[in-house]
Structures are given as C-alpha cells and as structure tokens.
Structure 1
Amino acid sequence: VEYLGFDDQGAGYTASAEMFGLAATTVLMTFIAHRLNWRKVVLISVLVMFFANLASAFVSNLDTFIALRFIAGLGAGSLVSLSFAAIGLTSKPDRNFGLMITWVLVYGALVLWVMPLAYELTGMTAVLLFFALFPLSALPLIQYMPASGEDQLQSGEAGTSLAPQFKIMALAAMLAYFTAQGVVWAYLFLIGTAGSLSEQAVANGLMLSQFAGIGGALLAAVLADRFGRSIPLAAGILGGAACLYFIIGEFSFPVYATTVIVYNFLWNVTHPYLMAAMASFDARGRVVVYAVAMQMVGLAIGPGIAATVISGGTYVNVNILGAVLFTLSFVLVLPPVMAQLKLSR
C-alpha cells in the first residue's frame, strides 16, 4: 500500500480482485479441465501470470492495477488447480501433497521475511518483476505434466472409482473444512487481542505457528499412507476443533502461542491427507479439481459467515462455528475414506 501510493481501501480491492480471479478459474476448471490439454493450460497460465505481473510493475493507476491483479489471479487459479490434480495422479499422493505444501509454506515464509528489505532496497517495481519472472521457472517442467487426467488412469487404490454419493460427501467435507479455516483464520489475530494479549504478542504467536505448519506438512510427507488416512484425518480435523476451546475468553501468551502452533501444525498435517483422499476417489483426477474449487470457495466465504456470528465484541461464536464446521467435515469425509479403503483391498 505504502510503496504503491494506494490507500487501505485500494489495497483491499486489489487483494479481493486477485483472490476472485484465482477462485474463478479454480471453479471454471471443474467444468472444463477434463476437456483440455493440461500442458497447454499450464503454459498459458504461466505466461498470463508473467505478463500481468510485468505490466503491474509499470502502472500507477489503481483501477488498472486492480484489473491486472485480477488477470494474474486467473492465471494462478488454473495453475493451482491442475498442479493439485497432477499430484493426485502420482503413485504416492500423500507424500507428494505433503512435500508440495511444505515447499509452498517455506516459500511463503521466505517471501514474508525478505519482502520488507526488498521493498526498502529495490522498491515495489523490482518485487513485481521478481513475481513476473518466478513463474517462468515452471516452463522447463511442463513437459513432465500429464496431458490430461483421462490419459493417466491410476491402478490400485484409485483405479476403482468411488460411488457418486461418496464423492459428493467428500466434496462437501472439503467445503466445510475450508470454510472452517476461513472462519477461524480471519479472526485468529482478533481472538488473541480480545483475549488480553498485545498485538505484538499475537503476531509472535502466529509467526511461530507458521514454522509449525511447515513441520506438519513435512510430517505428512514422511508418514505418507503408513497409518492410512482415517487416523491422521481424525487427529488433524478433530484436534484442530479441540484447539479452539483453549482460546475462549482471556488467556496467557503461552496458552495462545501453544494453541495456534498446534492448530497450524494439525491443519498442515490434515491438508495433504485430505487432498490425497480426494485423489483416491477418482482415477482421472477430476475430484481433486473439484476439491480445489471447494477449498477456494470455503476460504472465501468463511470470513463473511464468521462476521455474522460475532456478538458484543467477543469471538466465542467464531470458535464454536469453526469447531462445528470442523466436526461436520470429519463426519462427511470419514464414510468416503472408509468406503475407498474397502474398494482398494
């Protein structure tokens, strides 16, 4: 905001436009991904991100900048959707989703750490140029992308497609789980300050939780399917719901920090197993594409739903809503996971 000369409202519109673009293409992919050549879509997505970020570095008009961020989001959405789908088609999706999410979290942590210094030394233009060039690193790897899920039928676990009613339950579980995440994460900072902590203390706790998230995703990659999926999903989802009990009312910094560390750790253990489960429900990768759309929609609508239950400046209803949605997601995802386990035996 400061470096571009926009006000807080402009920053909000910009972030919203980019996220809307990302969500739009993830939803669009649910209808057309099976008809497209994935390599061509990824190539186009990378180029769209390159040109949108490049152009963003040289504009000063807010409306133009917002439009370019929306276009960049469009490119990112299809790239994210098909990347998840491709990993779902691999022989070890649990491990590979864990590794993918680990590297995403490491990248995010490094960017957040370096960004203030980069702004100070080079200004916003150089930062946007980096974001323009970085997607091009994917170009040499496109040849390893499957042309489509239709040509990559899996054998074994995902070779037998799950019944439609179980797929619908699984997608509803994804929507419930990520709506819960949207509900909780939008207010986790304010829950901390309302609990008598200083803003810096809350920020410190959330920063520590990011490192725990990396550890959670890495643990999922190491364990893979060694203990199946129902046990990690039960621990991750229900454990996340239980965490919310400890940050109601007033609490100390050690309680808040421990809670958000465990919460983020469990989230990032759960995420790879959820995506691997979605991959196992369909041999062509379509369910994963739908699941990514549910993820984006859930994260988008969660904060708005949470806003409707806040009462009297307290956030206990946010905690309750998050816990209920987490529990609902587990109730919905367990039957498909168990049904797929029976099919794979």
Structure 2
Amino acid sequence: MSGPRRPAYKIAPDGLPAAVFLAFLATAGLFYVNIMAAIVDGLVSGLGFTDAQAGQVAAVNTYGAAIGAVLSIFTIARLPWRRTAIVCLVALIGIDLLSIWITGAAAMIALRSIHGLVGGLLVGTGMGVIGRTANPDRSFGMLLFVQFGLGGLGVLLLPRLVPLFGVAPLFLSLALFSLVTTVMLPFLPDYPPRPTPVSKPDDATGTVVWTPLILAVSALFLFQAANMALLAYIFRLGVVSGLSRNEASGALGLATWVALAGPLLVMILGRRYGRFGLLFVGMLLTLGGNALFHWSGYGVIYLLANCATGITWGLVVPYLFGMTAEFDSAGRTAAAASVISKLGLASGPLIASFILGSGAGFNVLINSALAAMALAMVLMLPPALALDRRARRNEKEEKVPL
C-alpha cells in the first residue's frame, strides 16, 4: 500500500532541486558570513568604523546566530519547520532593510545581534531538515556549493559598490537572498523525522556514538573559528599588504568560485571512499594554504592562498556536519552542530578583533589561526576513522547470507 501522494508542485524530497532549495533555507539566516569580508570592509570604509568595531559587529551577529540555533534544537522537533522558517525570513528582511539607516557602532551591534538570533533559528531549522534527508553529506555539500557560489559574487561586486553607495548594497543583498528563499519554501516537501535511528541498538551505551560526536563538534568549532578569523579580515589583509581594492576583491571573488570544487567533490564522492583520507588531505592543504597568507603582498600568492583554503573549507565542513547528522534521526544533532559551528564563526572575528586591536598585526593572527587548525585536524581524524570502520563493518554484515 503506497503512502499519500506528493502534490504536483512539491519537488522530490531527495532530488537535486530539493538539495538546492534546502541549501538556500539553511544559508539565508547566515549568508552575511559568506560576504563577511565585504561587510567588515564596508563598515570601515563606508561608515568609518574601526577594524575592532567592525569585527565586533560581525561577532555579535554570529553569536546571536548561535543562540538562535540553540532554540532550533527544541523547536525543530516541536514546531512545524515551514512556519518557523517563514516567520524568520520575514523578520530578517525587515532587519536588513533597517540596517541600511544605522550609522552608529553601538546601534549596529544591537540590531545585528537581533538579526543573528533570528537567523540562527532559521539556519538551525534548515540544518535540522537537512539532517532528515536520505543523504545529509550530499545536502551539506550543496549547502557549501550555494554559499561559495553566491558568496563569490558578493565579495567580487559589493566592495566596489561601497565607495559609491555606502553600506546599502550589502544589506540589500541579504534581504534579497531571504526574499528568494521565501519564494522557494512552498515547493519543499514536509520532511518528517526519519522513522528509525541511524545508530544500532548496541551503540546506545554512548561509547561509539558520543565520543566521535564530541570530537567532531570540537573540531568543527576550532576549524570554523580559525577560518572565520582570517576571512572576516581577508579583504583588509590584502589591502594592508599592498594590493589595490580591485585586486583584492577580484582575487576573493575568483577564489570563492574556485572553492566550489570542495563541496562539488563532496557531492561526487560522498562516502564512497570514507571520510578519513579526504579529511587528512584536506587539512594538510588547509594548513599550507593559510601559511601562504604571510605573503599576501604578492597578488598571485594571495590568490592561491584563498583558492586553497576555500576548496578545503568547502570540503571539510560538509563531512564534519555529515558526521554529526548520523547520531540522531530527528535532526537534532545536526541542529546542535550548527550551534557549535556558529560559536566558532562568531569567536573567530571576535578574537581577531582583539589581536588586531592590540596592535599585534596580521602575522600573529595568521599564526594563531594555523595553531587552531592543527588542533582541529588532530580532533577530527579519530571520529572519521571510527565512523569509516563502522560503515565497513555494516557493509560486511549486509553481505553475509541469511
């Protein structure tokens, strides 16, 4: 007996269009992260904020998102996710439009913290829905693909518009993204919780499930914090190192599109070859690429560094999120991982603002980020190996004839 038929206007729950729409849903509340370099530069060059003030705006926006994502852990299993998403999207559009008229640092910090709270609730909801799909790794890969593709367009164009129109293009682009996402919502299916948990009954003790989960989310926090500490100031780094505004924005835009190779690899390879090997190679490239930022005064090296770190960022994060999604059938661990991710994304710019505000300079910032990434590598590889081994064991059990 077949289940209820899907309305004709609804797209298939696990097809490519659904992955794209879900990527927009899980991105809308946090898209400012993908154009953070343009926003920080816009606040400095367009409104006269100091580097420290601009970094604090970025930090509170993302800390608010972490709090909102915490709320989503409870709402995702209790409230209709579509209704929650609509309310959040309408609120985000209003806040972004209001942000155009704010000129003071204190008022901007207060308003963007509210934006972060609403956006975090939306993103956590979207991540929880992705956790209910048949292949979360692929959906998370599409999430990064959309973020990098549109983020590249943003960092290419927006810094060039700030001297002409001020910060208005920055916040209008965010409002437009939310509007497009709102139009997509009716076409998504319902995505109820999966009927059976992923973990087996003998995993209930927590030894196999919780230990890899804790290590994975710790690695996620450090990896996101280290990357965001540099990304928030990456445009400023290029300009301070001697590149022109057009050279820096052009390199960032091109590198962000090149970085699409990272999530594309995730969607193509999936878990076919396991996670351990890809994460190991990806983290080695991450460390090497970030070290190149010490020579950002050379345009080619600045471009290569951004390309390398962008590709590996888009490769590593989907696998880390996919790992966390395996531990719960309702999508709560995916929502919880989004909280940790946002705490990392918020802590990076805040710590960077302190480093630069103290006069330590960009070299100290780069070295601090490298240390955090090295520790993240140490933490993420054991759970990846454990989950790969469990997958191989399950495959062998399935091949045993009854």
Match of 1:328 in 2: 375
Equivalent of residue 276 in structure 1, options 294, 307, 322 = 322
Check whether the contact 2:59–2:346 (CA below 8 A) recurs between aligned residues: no
- Structure 1 distance, partners of 2:244, 2:103, is 37
Change (3 A) 1:251 1:139: closer
Q: Does 1:40 align with 2:83?
A: yes
**C-alpha distance in structure 2 between counterparts of 1:325 and 1:243, whole Å:** 14
Letter in 2 for 1:325: A
Could you tell me whether the CA contact under 8 Å between 1:49 and 1:132 is conserved in 2?
A: yes
SS at match of 1:248: helix
Describe how 1:142-161 pairs up with structure 2 within 5 A. Answer: 144-147=189-192, 151-153=193-195
For structure 1, which runs of at least 5 residues remain unmatched after alignment? none
Q: How does 1:85-164 map to 2 (within 5 A)?
A: 85-111=128-154, 130=176, 133-141=179-187, 144-147=189-192, 151-153=193-195, 162-164=208-210
Give the letter for the 2:282 counterpart: G
Instruction: Give the TM-score, by structure 2 length.
Output: 0.69
Letter in 2 for 1:146: Y
Q: Are residues 205 and 338 of structure 1, via their aligned partners in 2, closer, same or farther at CA, if it must alter by over 3 Å?
A: same
Choose from 16, 25, 42 the match for 2:68.
Answer: 25
In 2, Cα distance between the equivalents of 1:137 and 1:205? 32
- Name the counterpart of 1:81: 124
2:311 is paired with a residue whose SS is helix
State the alpha-carbon separation in 2 of the partners of residues 206 and 36 from structure 1: 39
Q: SS at 1:227's partner residue? A: coil
Contact 1:158 1:280 in 2 (8 A): no
Deviations 1:69-126 (A, max 9, x none): 5544333211211212222232222222111221222233345566677987xx7697
Alpha-carbon offset, residue 51 of structure 1 = 4.7
- In structure 2, what is the equivalent of residue 214 of structure 1? 260
Partner letter of residue 7 of structure 1?
A: L
Higher helix share: 1
- Classify 1:169/1:19 alpha carbon distance in 2 versus 1 (closer, same or farther; 3 Å): closer
> Shift in Å at residue 297 of structure 1?
0.8
Work out the CA distance in 2 between the residues paired with 1:294 and 1:256.
29
TM-score normalised to the size of structure 1?
Answer: 0.79
Query: How far apart in 2 are the matches of 1:293 and 1:26?
Result: 5
Deviation string for 1:13-48 (max 9, x for gaps)? 866664444232013334554444433322332333
Deviation of 1:292 (Å): 0.8
Corresponding residue of 2:48? 8
Change (3 A) 1:260 1:110: closer
Distance 2:200 2:127 in 1: 15
Judge which range, 32-41 or 215-224, deviates more.
32-41
CA distance in 2 between counterparts of 1:191 and 1:304 reads: 16
Aligned residues: 336
Instruction: Supply the AA of the counterpart residue of 1:343.
Output: R
Q: Distance in 2 between matches of 1:102 and 1:158?
A: 32
> Which stretch of the first structure deviates more once superposed, 254-263 or 308-317?
308-317
Show the counterpart of 1:240: 286
* 2:388 paired residue number: 341
Rate the CA distance shift 1:31–1:133 in 2: closer, same or farther, 3 A.
Answer: closer
Unaligned stretches of 5+ residues in structure 2: 1-38, 395-402
Aligned to 2:220: 174
AA at the equivalent of 1:302: G
CA distance in 1 between counterparts of 2:376 and 2:352 reads 17
The 8 Å contact of residues 22 and 77 in structure 1, kept in 2 or not, is answered as: yes
1:296 Cα deviation from its structure 2 partner: 0.9
Whole-angstrom distance in 1 between the partners of 2:235 and 2:175? 31
Equivalent residue letter for 2:194 = Q
C-alpha distance after superposition, 1:300-330 (max 9, x if no partner) = 1113323555686543332222122112112
> Would the alpha carbon gap of residues 295 and 76 (structure 1) be closer, same or farther in structure 2, given more than 3 Å must change?
same
Query: Does the aligned pair in 1 maintain the 2:82–2:185 contact within 8 Å?
Result: no
After TM superposition, give the deviation of residue 287 of structure 1 in Å.
Answer: 1.9
Task: Return the offset for 1:268.
Answer: 1.0
Q: Determine if the alignment matches structure 1 residue 296 to structure 2 residue 296.
A: no
Q: Does the C-alpha gap of structure 1 residues 284 and 317 become closer, same or farther in structure 2, counting only changes over 3 Å?
A: same
Distance 1:189-1:71 versus aligned 2 partners, 3 A rule: closer
RMSD of aligned Cα (Å): 3.8
Q: What per-residue deviation string (whole Å, max 9, x for no partner) do you get for residues 124-178 of structure 1? A: 6976874563342133035x2434xxx3245667896643233222211111111
Q: CA deviation at 1:267?
A: 1.0
Aligned-pair identity (%) = 26
Q: Which deviates more from structure 2 when the two are superposed, residues 129-138 or residues 22-31?
A: 129-138
